[in-house]
Structure 1
Amino acid sequence: MANLLPATSTKGYGFDAINSAVAMQTGEKYDMWLFGGEDIGLDITQGKDVVALESVDMSRSNPRTFSLRGLKEGSATLVGRLTQDVGGWKSGAEFIQPLTIRVGPAKAGHAQVRGKVSVDGKGSIVVHPGFRDELRALKDWRKAVIRVAEDQMNSEIGSTQNGGDGIYDDKDIMWCGSFVSFLYATIAGVDSTWANSLGAGLGVNSPLRSGIKALSHAMQNPGRFTVLNYAGDDQFAGAPPIKVERLVGSGVELQQGDICLPRDQYGVFRHVCILYKPPTGNTDFICIDGNTFGNYVPSGLRRGNNGCIAYSSHDQANQQYTIQAKTYKTKSGEEKNVRLSMGSKFRHYVFIHIDKLS
């Protein structure tokens, strides 16, 4: 099989290798590379009025080159078929993974979901019609929320260091949790059966805007959420305390789309992210994180594009820390008292399992 990659001129914006998709703009010329497959003929099989295939050069050695031209908003599919028999492959066989092409408005960015949250927490979210159909066809809100996260990660918002600043929350706000609320607000707008409280408020109104606010939201709604790796008080509001700590692997199965709340060595909740590959016990796991250049830099970042939305890999979901100081300094230099007493033990990662959306 041959492989497609975006040419360096595109900076990779909008290209999703995992899902074989690209988001581009009306009027844009998007240069592509084809590796392997000397005997491939490229064709737009759906959406010929949406995307034009240009500057195809199969004569050169790897990479072979071609361009996509966005003609109007809509969806298209690019296929590559063998022009002659090759090995065990017959002429006419598809020899690349079909590429889904989403064309949005001119100068609107390389994303299938577009939106911006205002200072007061209001904002509109626009989903490309073709992407909306794709999400609905998944028939699984967990898969849908991850697809939206991947779309944002592959756009220029997620592919640049400061791309998310002023998009998912007000400018200069640590927006990691607001990003997750944006994802859940998006799927709620796609399918009414996916309505949920996590995306009911955006920006300043997001229930996930900080780690302690996210934990509080889960503690206030015990019928819809299960908290793992935490016992103690609600540090944000007045929910009843959790008296017995439940560990990952103790009977509640974490799933893709659940929430992870990392704590630092002082027990402070510093970050909010969404689970991509959940742990099954005291095992490794992978998250998708927003605001990766913020005050808290997640461990194990896998920045394929050096962007502010990225995967992060972690070991030992039930890892335990011990408090070894009475005070700590914030990034701004402010000294604060450690909430927990010296010698107290706590889990590095707290998880929120979503039992049901609403």
Structure 2
Amino acid sequence: MEVSNRFITIKNHVDGAPKESDFEIKAAALPLTLQPGSTDIIVKTLYVSIDPYQLNRMKTASSSHGTSSYSVAVNPGEAIDAYGVAKVVVSGNPHFEKDDLVVGIFSWGEYCVVKPGGMIRKFDPMGFPLSYQVGVLGFSGLTAYAGFFEVCKPKKGDKVFVSTASGSVGHLVGQYAKLFGCYVVGSAGSKEKVAVLKEKLGFDNAFNYKEETDLKATLKRYFPDGIDIYFDNVGAEMQEAAVANMNVFGRVAVCGIISEYINGGRRAAPEMLDIVYKRIKMQGFLAADHFDVHGDFVSTTCDHLRTGKIHPLDDISTGVESIPSAFIGLFRGHNIGKKMVQIAEE
């Protein structure tokens, strides 16, 4: 049996804000059979993750290309690999069978061939929607959990600021922080998102950064006694303002700098005297650095999900053809929560 496998690729390197004309849908014949002795696995993609960092992979050059296997460059015409949920169609690997549900690195496409050594594992849905494996129980959730607990090292009562707080990682960081006993304020880009943070997710407060003209003064207003932890998803001016308002021995977890991804000339410039004299710790990190806490992360998060203490936000588009617009929307503030695309039904 053979299928026509549709997948998304870029037509050219993307060095500014992504647009529809940068992408195209390709199709290639894919036999759903394996050669004798092959240990490949063919999967049918069900959900794929849509993440801002992928833009750095599409650029002509980026310092991220040589630092991690998750951030290698994507060339025009190539299938774009991404984290997702899939179902095994054919397996030459004795550890996987037809119809197994799996998570791992697949592609922005309908089918994917996973070679030996590829990232793939079986999972138990545990009664949760499959989309949770891409979001709250996937890399986004691990990023939030490890970034907050392992990098920020919170103490009960800490005052926590989260930027892009309605995004895939930020909305979970704020909830973990509240459950731990912290005071939490988030920033977002619309009144609707601010309302979600305060009314649905339990943030102590939130503000629309687009309505503020002086971010340093804004943060002083929300944190009159200073910030202990800043979970940074945006970089640029917001990072500068947060550092200016941080307390002695404050901690900054640099998870993402989305405002700088589409504007190469925009850079954060925090006051380095503050960093030195307040002894502020700033650390960039990747979820892949913290697989050692994956078991604790899953166990703790599942408990919170079952008791209704964490409310994951999944923002789901449908169909492989919707991937470009879903991705572009990240840089226009269209998503609330974890952006993903459902490619097929289970």
Task: Answer whether TM exceeds 0.5 for this pair.
Answer: no
Specify which structure has the bigger relative contact order, considering alpha-carbon pairs within 8 angstroms and separated by 6 or more residues: 2
- Superposition TM-score, scaled by structure 2 size: 0.30
- Superposition TM-score, scaled by structure 1 size: 0.29
Task: Find the structure with the greater CA-based Rg.
Answer: 1
- Write 1 or 2 for the structure with the bigger share of helix: 2
